[in-house]
Amino acid sequence: MKPPALFVFDLDGTLIDSRTDLANAANAALERLGLPRLSKEVIVSYIGDGIDALLRRCLTEERLNLFERARSYFGAYYREHLLDHTTLLPEVRETLEILRRQSQLAVLTNKSEPYARRILEGLGVASLFTVIVGERNGKVTKPDPEVLKALTEQLGVSSNATLMVGDGENDILVARAVGCRSCAIADSGEKRHLLESFGPDFLIHKMGELLGIFEDLHKKSLNGR
């Protein structure tokens, strides 16, 4: 199978493990508000739809009047600590470097765009991406099809030559909405079962398996060893 001309990647949970830094920032905001901390596991379950959604879920409906302050406190902490514990996930760097030899790469994330850029720059992979698109002015990018459609048009790539890669349902839904193929990454049986129900075109366990889907890329990965 011929590799896509464009690979579009989700960020959190797909390229990076940012769970600890996000949980710490959310708890820092809650503490500033005089509210009890939440467990890391609970906060992680709220990740995926942008920081605004994350904070609203942490506050619950009863405390949404505190949202603006929570967002301010979260931002003040996260800007200083977004790379304390955040790392690239296994096999990400090597896979991106192989893909970049013949395809364009982009990031489409519901994380705030300035945060996304700083993290990718800090981890030394920002230069591998032609475009990095994230949340702007509180508007999330997924599953809004217009954002992905605009990204493919900007790069001059048709939707049927684009593959959306991510670890969440929004990645599958936004790909389907614009006519792109999708590849879901599920690192557990429970997550695999959930993502399968959304019907991705491909389903893999870890990033390195992406190369095996496309014969040309698989050969390049073998030749590079």
Give the residue numbers marked as catalytic. Answer: 10
- Furthest CA-CA distance within the chain: 57
Q: Whose structure tokens read 């797909």?
A: 14
Token readout for 121 is 């720059």
Distance CA 78, CA 54 (A): 13
CA distances from 124 to 115, 119, 120, 188 (A): 14, 9, 6, 28
Q: Whose structure tokens read 């079962």?
A: 193
CA distances from 155 to 7, 8, 187 (A): 11, 11, 30
Contact 9, 105 (CB under 8 A): yes
Distance CA 107, CA 117 (A): 10
Where does residue 218 rank: exposed (0-12), middle (13-18), buried (19+ CB within 10 A)?
middle
Distance CA 211, CA 219 (A): 9
